[in-house]
């Protein structure tokens, strides 16, 4: 019952991916974008 059909295997539905964590690159990019937004907002306040 635990076997996935071959057509579903390449879609990332496997049980090993159960903890849905984003890739490290995605988190790094998200943190950089948030930091840029915060810095631009702060610089806009102080100018």
**What is the pLDDT at residue 40?**
93
**What is the pLDDT at residue 7?**
60
In a domain, residue 43? The reply is yes
Q: Which structural domain, as residue segments, surrounds residue 27? A: 21-47
In a domain, residue 35? The reply is yes
Number of structural domains in the chain: 1
For residue 23, give the 3-state DSSP assignment.
coil
In a domain, residue 45? The reply is yes
Could you say which DSSP state residue 21 is in? Answer: P
**What is the pLDDT at residue 29?**
94
Q: How many residues does the chain have?
A: 47
**What is the pLDDT at residue 45?**
83
Helix (H) or strand (E) holding 39: helix 24-46
Positions of the chain with pLDDT under 50: 13
Predicted structure pTM score: 0.47
Share of the chain above pLDDT 90, in %: 38
């Amino acid at each position: 019952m635990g076997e996935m059909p071959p057509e579903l295997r390449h879609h990332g539905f496997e049980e090993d991916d159960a903890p849905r964590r984003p890739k490290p690159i995605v988190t790094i990019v998200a943190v950089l974008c948030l930091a840029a937004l915060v810095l631009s907002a702060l610089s806009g306040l102080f100018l």
